[in-house]
Amino acid sequence: MLPGVHDGPLARTYDVVIVGAGIQGVGLAYELAKRGVRRIAVLDRSWPGNGASGRNGEMIRSAFSSPEWINLFHHSLRRWHRLSAELDFNVLFSPDGYVVLASTEQQWSNLQRDARTQAAHGLRTELLDAAAMRELLPAANPELVRGGILQRDAGFAHHDAVVWAYLRAAARLGVEVHAGVEVTGVRVSGGRVTGVTTAKGEVSAPIVVNAAGGGALAINAMAGVKLPMVQSRLELLVTEPMRPFLRTAVAPLELLGYCHQTKRGEFVGGTELPYTDQSASLNGTYRLLRDMAAKWVRLFPVLSGARLLRHWAGTVTQYKDLAPVIGEMPGLSGYVVTIGWVYGFMGAPAAAELLAEAIVTGRVSPVLAPFSPQRVIEGRVIAETSLVVASEAA
Amino acid sequence: MSRAARDTIVCHCHDATLADLKVMWREGYRHPDTVKRATAAFMGPCQGKYCAPLVQEILAGLAAESGVEIERRRPSVRAPLYPVRLGELAAPGGEGGR
Amino acid sequence: MMSRRPGVGRDRPTVTFTFEGRTITARQGQSIAAALLANGVDILTRSFKYRRPRGYTCGFDACPNCPVTVDGLPGVAACTTEVRGGERVHRERGWPSADLDLLRVTDVLSRFFGAGFQFRHFAKHPRLSHLWERVMATVAGAGRLPTPGAARAAQARRVVTASPDVLVVGGGLSGCAAALGAAERGARVLLANRGPLGGRSRVRRHPVDTGADGTLPACEAAQLLARRVAAAEHITVVDGTVVGAFEEGVFPIAEGAVLREVRPRAVVVATGSYELPPLFPNNDRPGVVLADAVRRLIHVDQVVPWRSAVVVTDRAAGHELAAELGEAGVAVRAVADLRARPDFPGTGRVPVLAGARVARVIGRRRVRAIEIEHAGRRRRLPCDLVGVALGERPADELVLQLRYLDAGTTTAVTDDWRPGDGFSGRVTETAWVVGSAAGRGGDLSHAYAIGGRAAEHAARQDPEPPVSGDDS
């Protein structure tokens, strides 16, 4: 299937079973194995990286508006800088900068406030006014550039490479990543999880982790867990390679979009409509294709002449505040979730490490704690306003 | 890998060669979708118009040699069927998706 | 026997365009690639990673080997773009030029640059990795960025909507037949085609049974049906690219200045076929040309830029190609037939090497010779054209998309979606496929009948109120 995927049969028992071999699942497996956990199985119904981990926009930042997001994602950003060296695989992390772009006075005012919050939390971000931002983004339509935040040491990476890197590293440490194994049931007894049922047999484990991305709600249902979360479909497009015209990643708040130009020269970008598309389909829609084309051409007029090569979709699950839901489910011992990831690619290195730490030691880091399932059960939200996905919580 | 295998071009868009396919197979990439991502075949302007039969034939041969089964499907087909300019899709008006 | 083919006669006016500072004279109707080949330009681009020379290969925009920049717009397929007159054309990759690309050092050192090389290097050296990436980024997309004027010109100016009864995708022989069949049954038909009607049949002369008009060479049948389609009152022909099938039931057609949103009641897919490429060392050299591309140059563009050829084939069509080349004045050195016992209408003049195997193509910048293994010996045959006739496969992308939408998932659809002989052509409740896209090339009666069936299906749908501003 791919290097790092386990060849042999599924065993009867493991210490930890992780459902979903995306970046969250494989990253967590690696971190657990690093901490000495012995028998770990990651089960994926297709193959590692076939979900959102292989379909996302590849962007990485920690320049957010809320302390909760800033702390978690900055921890992640610091890991990103060392990830290739640690995993001994070049994930092509490009710290070429990340711009959060304001097009209106309101957005500019919000970003000015965010910059102060970021500074207070030790982030090195810069507030660039219209003139300075236009200089940084010469290909951008000046009408859409009121100013923005530049995080210089943030940027983007190669999404397949990261999954492959974690997969190989996890396999080297003895993790079994099984492809083509669909989990069909989660076994629960007396308030504890005891294992999973799969198409290839029953597996016992005292700890079951739901890292199933777009499929997470179905796994929750199998465990009898119901959280007020929905599945969501996101769409992106990629053009043919072009001469570099955009150095940084850019998230224009006005366009509900995010984009960058890869190191192969391709422009990759996605946008959203101001409502959640709850389809489970992986087919792209015409309305989003039009939306993306119109918005990207508006922001970067040169793209009008760029040839579109591909338009695709991926699914995630989300809670109304669009923050991830990470931790052990109250009332169901041993059932851990790391779901609701809309910004999962950038957050995975930190989440994997901190969640592994929590699982092994029982102590939850204060960086991870705000994202607990408890907040979801209680209907609380983390107010993060610097997102380019339609959120109800802002 | 021989010079001959390196000079035998499978994916003309990204210069994936016969040698690349064989190396990737040996490394463990054994599914049409993972081979695609590992070699960049199917990911260029032709989106498989040129290379699909070659990739399929080579993988089938490698699978037969190794005595394994390989999924008989090509990586998924997505819009656009031929590359169109983003500007052509950005025209104002229309119904969008109804 | 040479039949009349639509082509670019010497009575057509000349047009000139600028190519990298030179003035090139062409005939109206010729493609940019043909005009360049006629003027001794074989290298049309350099490949993405190894900067290998590439040239005219497939003739039908199904490969990445001929993109040129025209008036500041990169990625224009030279093989299917007609010379307009006055445009400025240049090639896209190559430093300092496409003729001499110093970056071909990566080809010389290809063992260090195999697929995935970028993940193996500099993992422990983030600064070096970053620098390396910047170099790669500059090299990969080099030279290709639309000028502001070209970008503005590429923007479509308006959207129109259309709600035909039947949408036929592809205006080759079978597409035209299906459109006529549907119109005959009273349907309003929209036929979408890229370029002139007729498809690959415009360049072929094998016999086609047209029914009432008897058996004609394919190119003449194509002309006949194209004329009928153009004259048919209820068939609207649009020249554009169908972008894809979408869950909203819309088939957008990109026509340049116009984006047409088509919401048909029934769809007939007639997208034709792709030729099968060859696999041997240096299979990508300029001068290795697929059969239909050879035919297109000779018959449509009326350019014969080769002196001698070897045909590589495994079917009768390859021997026919050899005959056509001979008629066009090209010295055919041999037909290398991969079959041990080929059947062919031999003339005896062109040697046939049965049971041949291609060892490699020789030539650094273009084909100079081909090495064939035959009868235990390796023979070097000098030539400047290797014509490849290894068959074709359905251009089934749109069919697959329709099946994904129908099945609700991508994974359920395998390559063997055609369940053997006797395939009816039905793809989904509202879609059919005809012609070589269905593995039924040349079966015009089937295409015609399917058009009729699609029309009947459309007529049975509940009447929809017309879309506001409908332009169909």
CATH number at residue C455: 3.50.50.60
How much is the CA Rg of chain A, to the nearest whole Å?
A: 20
CA angle (A311 as vertex; C400, C168 as ends), nearest 5: 45
Q: What is the pLDDT of residue B37?
A: 96
Domain boundary among the residues C368, C390, C412 is at: C390
Question: Is residue B72's pLDDT more than 50?
Answer: yes
Residue C147, domain member (yes or no): no
Lowest mean pLDDT of A175-189, A197-211, A325-339, C401-415, name the range: C401-415
Q: What is the pLDDT of residue A171?
A: 98
Whether C129 and A285 lie within 8 Å, measured CB to CB:
no
* SS3 (DSSP) at C163: coil
Q: What is the pLDDT of residue B95?
A: 73
How far from C387 is each of A147, B18, C46, C278, C310, CA to CA, in Å? 58, 21, 21, 10, 6
Q: What is the pLDDT of residue C8?
A: 59
* SS3 (DSSP) at C211: coil
Q: Are strands A257-261 and A267-271 parallel, antiparallel or unpaired?
A: antiparallel
d(CA C142, CA C429): 46
Mind telling me how many Å the CA of A276 is from chain B's nearest CA?
15
| Structural domains in chain B plus CATH codes | 3-77 (1.10.10.1100)
Among residues C239, C271, C243, the alpha carbon closest in space to that of C255 is found at C239
Q: What is the pLDDT of residue A12?
A: 97
Question: Is residue C472's pLDDT more than 80?
Answer: no
Are residues C246 and C103 located together in one domain of the fold? Answer: no
Residue C366, domain member (yes or no): yes
* C167 within 8 A of C263, measured Cβ to Cβ: no
Residue C96, Cβ density class (10 Å: 0-12 exposed, 13-18 middle, ≥19 buried): exposed
Instruction: Quickly tell me which residue has 């090339």 as its tokens.
Output: C441
Mind telling me how many Å the CA of B7 is from chain C's nearest CA?
5
Chains in contact with chain B (at least 3 beta-carbon pairs closer than 8 A): A, C
Q: What is the pLDDT of residue C2?
A: 34
Domain boundary among the residues C390, C406, C421 is at: C390
Question: Is residue C319's pLDDT more than 80?
Answer: yes
Residue C256 zone, left/alpha/beta (φ > 0; ψ -120 to 50; rest): left
Q: What is the pLDDT of residue A95?
A: 96
Are residues C164 and C77 located together in one domain of the fold? Answer: no
Question: Is residue C3's pLDDT more than 50?
Answer: no
Q: Average pLDDT for residues A170-197, to the nearest whole number?
A: 98
Find the largest Cα–Cα distance for chain C.
73
Residue A3, Cβ density class (10 Å: 0-12 exposed, 13-18 middle, ≥19 buried): middle
Mutate to test the interface with A, among B66, B89, B95 (most CBs of A within 10 A): B89
Whether B88 and C155 lie within 8 Å, measured CB to CB:
yes
Q: Which residues contact A326 (CB under 8 A, 6 or more apart)?
A: A337, A338, A339, A351, A354, A355, A368, A371, A372, A373
**B2 reaches A (C-beta below 8 A):** no
Which DSSP helix (H) or strand (E) runs through A78? helix A67-87
User: Which is more confidently placed, B74 or A371?
Assistant: A371
Indicate the number of domains in chain C: 3
**B85 reaches A (C-beta below 8 A):** yes
Q: Are strands A230-239 and A267-271 parallel, antiparallel or unpaired?
A: antiparallel
Nearest CA in chain C to A262: C137
Which chain C residues have a beta carbon less than 8 Å from that of B23?
114-115
d(CA C225, CA C6): 13
Whether C277 and B46 lie within 8 Å, measured CB to CB:
no
Q: C349: pLDDT confidence band, cut at 50, 70 and 90?
A: confident
Tokens of A164: 């492959």
Range of the domain at C446: 158-274+394-460
Q: Which residues contact C7 (CB under 8 A, 6 or more apart)?
A: C299, C300, C301, C302
Whether A87 and C123 lie within 8 Å, measured CB to CB:
yes
Tokens of C356: 């041949």
| Structural domains in chain A plus CATH codes | 16-54+160-228+321-377 (3.50.50.60), 95-155+230-318 (3.30.9.10)
**A206 reaches C (C-beta below 8 A):** no
Q: What is the pLDDT of residue A388?
A: 85
Q: Which residues contact C57 (CB under 8 A, 6 or more apart)?
A: B12, C63, C65, C66, C284, C288, C289, C290, C293
Q: What is the pLDDT of residue A209?
A: 98
Residue C454, domain member (yes or no): yes
d(CA C379, CA C370): 8
Residue C299, domain member (yes or no): yes
pTM of the model: 0.95
Among partner residues C49, C115, C274, which is closest to B49 by beta-carbon distance? Answer: C274
**A67 reaches C (C-beta below 8 A):** no
**B81 reaches A (C-beta below 8 A):** no
Q: What is the ipTM of this complex?
A: 0.96
Mutate to test the interface with B, among C45, C46, C47, C48 (most CBs of B within 10 A): C48
Q: What is the pLDDT of residue C6?
A: 46
Among residues A264, A249, A57, A156, the alpha carbon closest in space to that of C135 is found at A264
Instruction: Quickly tell me which residue has 């039949």 as its tokens.
Output: C3
Mind telling me how many Å the CA of A141 is from chain C's nearest CA?
12
* C348 within 8 A of C328, measured Cβ to Cβ: no
Are residues C343 and C405 located together in one domain of the fold? Answer: no
Instruction: Quickly tell me which residue has 């021997």 as its tokens.
Output: C319
Which chain B residues have a beta carbon less than 8 Å from that of C363?
none
Question: Is residue A393's pLDDT more than 60?
Answer: no
Residue C134, domain member (yes or no): no
Residue C428, domain member (yes or no): yes
Among partner residues B31, B38, B90, which is closest to A293 by beta-carbon distance? Answer: B90
Nearest CA in chain B to C261: B94
Whether A308 and B44 lie within 8 Å, measured CB to CB:
no
pLDDT in tens, A317-340: 999 999 999 999 999 999 999 999
Strand ranges for C383-439 from DSSP E? 385-389, 392-394, 426-428, 431-433
Residue C173, Cβ density class (10 Å: 0-12 exposed, 13-18 middle, ≥19 buried): buried
Tokens of A197: 């049922």
Q: C73: pLDDT confidence band, cut at 50, 70 and 90?
A: very high
Q: What does chain A come to in residues?
A: 394
Question: Is residue C274's pLDDT more than 80?
Answer: yes
Question: Is residue A147's pLDDT more than 60?
Answer: yes
Among partner residues B47, B87, B92, which is closest to A309 by beta-carbon distance? Answer: B47
**A190 reaches C (C-beta below 8 A):** no
d(CA C172, CA C225): 9
Q: What is the pLDDT of residue C408?
A: 82
Which chain A residues have a beta carbon less than 8 Å from that of B87?
293, 297, 303-305
Which chain A residues have a beta carbon less than 8 Å from that of B89?
289-290, 293-294, 308
Are residues C198 and C302 located together in one domain of the fold? Answer: no
* A305 within 8 A of C74, measured Cβ to Cβ: yes
Are residues C170 and C236 located together in one domain of the fold? Answer: yes
Are residues C108 and C68 located together in one domain of the fold? Answer: yes
Which chain A residues have a beta carbon less than 8 Å from that of C138?
243-244
Among residues C342, C363, C410, C302, the alpha carbon closest in space to that of C52 is found at C363
Q: Identify whether B80 is preceded by a cis peptide bond (ω within 30 of 0).
A: yes
* SS3 (DSSP) at B33: helix
Among residues C76, C55, C57, C58, the alpha carbon closest in space to that of C67 is found at C76
Residue C247, Cβ density class (10 Å: 0-12 exposed, 13-18 middle, ≥19 buried): middle
Which chain B residues have a beta carbon less than 8 Å from that of C136?
none
Whether B97 and A290 lie within 8 Å, measured CB to CB:
yes
Q: What is the pLDDT of residue A390?
A: 66
Whether C133 and A94 lie within 8 Å, measured CB to CB:
yes
**Which residues are registered as beta bridge partners of C358?**
C372
Residue C187, domain member (yes or no): yes
Chains in contact with chain A (at least 3 beta-carbon pairs closer than 8 A): B, C
Residue C222, domain member (yes or no): yes
A349 CA to centre of own chain: 10
Are residues C378 and C302 located together in one domain of the fold? Answer: yes
* A76 within 8 A of A275, measured Cβ to Cβ: no
Q: Which amino acid is at C351?
A: P
Among partner residues A54, A285, A293, which is closest to B86 by beta-carbon distance? Answer: A293
pLDDT in tens, C123-153: 999 899 999 888 888 777 666 899 999 999 9
pLDDT in tens, C420-448: 666 789 999 999 999 999 999 999 999 99
C:346-405 residues touching chain A, CB 8 A cutoff: 401, 404-405
Report residue C318: phi and psi, to 5°: -70, -40
Domain boundary among the residues C113, C142, C171 is at: C113
Among residues A390, A305, C263, C167, the alpha carbon closest in space to that of B96 is found at C263
**C243 reaches A (C-beta below 8 A):** yes
Are residues C266 and C361 located together in one domain of the fold? Answer: no
Question: Number of Cβ pairs closer than 8 Å across A and C?
Answer: 125
Which chain B residues have a beta carbon less than 8 Å from that of A240?
44-45, 83
Are residues C308 and C381 located together in one domain of the fold? Answer: yes
Are residues C252 and C400 located together in one domain of the fold? Answer: yes
Among residues A320, A343, A351, A152, the alpha carbon closest in space to that of A230 is found at A320
Mind telling me how many Å the CA of A2 is from chain C's nearest CA?
13
Q: What is the pLDDT of residue A208?
A: 98
Whether A283 and C404 lie within 8 Å, measured CB to CB:
yes
Q: Average pLDDT for residues C46-70, to the nearest whole number?
A: 96
Tell me, what CATH number does C69's domain have? 3.10.20.440
Lowest mean pLDDT of A166-175, A385-394, B88-97, name the range: A385-394
Average pLDDT, chain A: 96
Nearest CA in chain B to A286: B97
Q: Which amino acid is at C171?
A: G
Mind telling me how many Å the CA of A69 is from chain B's nearest CA?
31
Q: Average pLDDT for residues A258-266, to the nearest whole number?
A: 94
Are residues C343 and C419 located together in one domain of the fold? Answer: no
Whether B84 and C243 lie within 8 Å, measured CB to CB:
yes
pLDDT in tens, A47-98: 999 999 999 999 999 999 999 999 999 999 999 999 999 999 999 999 999 9
**B93 reaches A (C-beta below 8 A):** no
Average pLDDT, chain C: 92
d(CA C74, CA C81): 13
User: In percent, how much of chain A has pLDDT > 90?
Assistant: 97
Q: A115: pLDDT confidence band, cut at 50, 70 and 90?
A: very high
DSSP, res C3 = P
Are residues C268 and C171 located together in one domain of the fold? Answer: yes
Question: What torsion do the CA atoms of C140, C143, C145, C150 make, to the nearest 10 degrees?
Answer: -150
Among residues B5, B74, B72, the alpha carbon closest in space to that of B41 is found at B74
Q: Identify whether C196 is preceded by a cis peptide bond (ω within 30 of 0).
A: no
Mutate to test the interface with B, among C104, C246, C284, C358 (most CBs of B within 10 A): C284
